[in-house]
Amino acid sequence: MPLGVNRTRIATASLRGRVSGSSLRNPELTLSAVRADGRGLLVRCQESSPTFGLLVGVLAALGTHEPPATSAGAVGALVRGFRGRGRRAARPRPRRHRGRCRSRRARSRILRLSSAGSNPRSRLRPLPYAVPPPCYRRVVGSSPTRGALSADSRFDELLRRLGAIDDLVRAGTLLGWDEETKMPPAGADARAEQRATVEAVTHEHRVDPALGELIEELRPFEEAHDPDSFEASVVRVARRDYEKAVRVPPELLAELERAGSLGYRAWLRARAENDYSIMLPHFERNLELRRRYVSCFDYDGDPYDVVLDDYEPGMKTTEVQAIFDRLKERLVPMIRTVADHEAIDDSCLHGSFPRPAQRRVSLAIIEAWGMDDEAWRLDYTVHPFEVSMAINDIRLTTRFDEDNIHGLLSCLHEFGHGLYERQIDPRFFRTPLADGVSSAVHESQSRLWENLVGRRLSTWRFFYPTLQRELPAFGDVPLETFHRALNKVQPTLRRVDADEVTYCLHVILRFELERELLDGRLDLRDLPEAFDAKMREYLGLQPPDLANGVLQDVHWSDMSLGYFPTYALGNVVSVQLWERAEADLGSFDEQFERGEFAGLAEWLHDHVHRFGRMLEPQELIRRATGSTMDPEPYLGYLQRELEELFGAAVG
């Protein structure tokens, strides 16, 4: 049942810290259900607030048992206690205000939620008067004033602030996960407003000037610690995030979130009805907003550098283009040579495969790889993805079609993402370090488990009996036939169904189109034909409809430009990591045949996962593999795989 507050109820807050006119500037806040008595901050909700209530519920679902370190979460704790106990609730007495508070920052106006929401009744409103809260030093008691705080105390304060931001980010993620897995379609408009509100509140915390001052004050603290230490890494990454966040107006971020949510529902409808006109206005709106986002940053040359940096920090478009030029140079001839060989029969992969049976097979595999019921779950969606609410709350999604088993491979892919986030150092929880270092490194993990492990013959020597038991159609299919079918090289319409050789060309054509859209060389009205033209040029295929053409991917529903290149870059990095792991541990085939996959998972933990965002992407790759991002190992791997598959030189 949605949480809300009756319009007639008033509560008072005993405040620790500073409050701005629209958001709490210090996340350490305690709220009590007490009467207005002139000793604290008065808040009132004008009417029942479903948006606010959902935010509170989201924070509660994240497992916030102590008073949440956010303004919205703290008010949520107040609301639940007030409604449950009524006016006779226990009322802790706040400290008396003795004398005039000298700090202007300690003065307060009335608390209200962000004004990003369009419904004035769905947020806290200011009372017609304000009561100054106790002075900061008086509330804290014996603690020194801010100016005299030790470096360790400042760092603790930074961790509290960053924890509040992380809670809000995960809350927004939970709203997105629910929208794509559980939410009924009619909830789309309300969810768009809810996500916009959460994004606005999150951004206010991210760009709080006090946070920037704190980070700057900690510069000597950072320099006094080893660059690879937890302390120095937290300050360094927090500074980078802050410097990016302050460039973007909160109104723009809220509108990006709102427009993206609406675009997703339109994308579902346009695919189903094969009608581009349904999606076009959403494309136009989201592209306009994305260009406004780019304009918030300084860049030399290519505007695509801005969106690329969101997913691959520090990398330039010219670097990606150089790698992709090399891939195209080698992959196109490979594909042409493969076309001259007799096609591999993959008919065994197509038939009637019940979804529950596919799910059981998928779970059997990823549980053997490291998934468990305590910290993971698997749900259905239109376009598979993975998100984490915490290091011990990993959520995979997939799509099973009953006429093929491609959904099984998507589960293996998403598992790779999940294992990365599951194996991040637990110390990083509720800090900006508790995430993948970049999207390319993240994709390297999913592609490694999907392709280098999931398509490997030794892997299926162990799992094939399970597949045959759950899907009897494979009972008479020899393992070698199944393995060759699973590794068939043939251009496909859909990127997610592509083989290892043709996959990167799907990505490259999207990268090229995104650059043209962003800089205005390509009009959105011409996007379907431009997409089809590149499909014909690179893969020799003509999409028969929008669902197999320009609308096949969810990424453009909100114009999330810059992500697609990381898929191909992830392929490149995956082979670099695989070869180094084998050099360190020896061939994995004997282990895989026995169902032993922990050795690989542990190596990835030690060399990639545990670092989270502690290192820069290229530095992480260099330490793990001995070199920076290099396409040659990947191209060599494909060459060997094709020669083994066809028994002759290819390319």
Residue 106 has pLDDT above 70, yes or no: no
How many Å is the maximal CA-CA distance in the chain? 89
Which residues are 12's β-sheet partners? 32, 42
Measured CA angle at 404 (ends 398, 408), to 5 deg: 35
Helix (H) or strand (E) holding 396: strand 393-398
Which residues are 386's β-sheet partners? 396
Helix (H) or strand (E) holding 326: helix 317-340
Residue 51 has pLDDT above 50, yes or no: no
pLDDT of residue 278: 98
What is the fold of 305-646? Neurolysin; domain 3 (1.10.1370)
Which residues are 32's β-sheet partners? 12
Pairing relationship of beta strands 393-398 and 10-14 according to DSSP bridges: unpaired
pLDDT of residue 462: 98
Residue 149 has pLDDT above 80, yes or no: no
Q: For residue 451, give the DSSP letter.
A: I
Active site residues: 414
pLDDT of residue 24: 33
Only one residue has tokens 């070869």, namely 579
Only one residue has tokens 């993206």, namely 260
Q: How confident is the model at residue 126 (pLDDT cuts 50, 70, 90)?
A: very low
How many of the other CB atoms lie within 10 Å of CB of 73? 27
Q: How confident is the model at residue 37 (pLDDT cuts 50, 70, 90)?
A: very low
Residue 572 has pLDDT above 50, yes or no: yes
Residue 579 has pLDDT above 60, yes or no: yes
- Which has the minimum average pLDDT: 187-191, 341-345, 419-423, 538-542? 341-345
Dump pLDDT digits (tens) for 298-309: 988 899 999 999
pLDDT of residue 650: 61
pLDDT of residue 337: 85
Q: Determine contact, residues 403/351, Cβ cutoff 8 Å.
A: yes
pLDDT of residue 451: 96
Residue 486 or 142, more confident: 486
Would you kindly state where each structural domain of the chain is located, as residue ranges?
A: 10-245, 305-646
pLDDT of residue 172: 96
Q: How many Å apart are CA 174 and CA 157, to the nearest integer? A: 26
- Concatenate the DSSP letters of all residues of 262-316 into one string: HHHHHHHHHHHHT-HHHHHHHHHHHHHHHHHHHHTS--SS-THHHHHHHHSTT--
Within 115-150, residue ranges assigned H as helices are 136-140
Which residues are 387's β-sheet partners? 395
Measured CA angle at 378 (ends 377, 384), to 5 deg: 135
Q: What is the mean pLDDT of residues 556-560?
A: 93
pLDDT of residue 649: 63
Output the average pLDDT for the chain: 81
Residue 103 has pLDDT above 70, yes or no: no
pLDDT of residue 524: 97
Only one residue has tokens 């969101």, namely 310
Q: How many Å apart are CA 168 and CA 174, to the nearest integer? A: 10
Residue 487 or 12, more confident: 487
Dump pLDDT digits (tens) for 399-416: 999 999 999 999 999 999
Q: What is the mean pLDDT of residues 182-193?
A: 93
Query: HSE of 139 in the Cβ direction (CA atoms, 13 Å)?
Result: 21
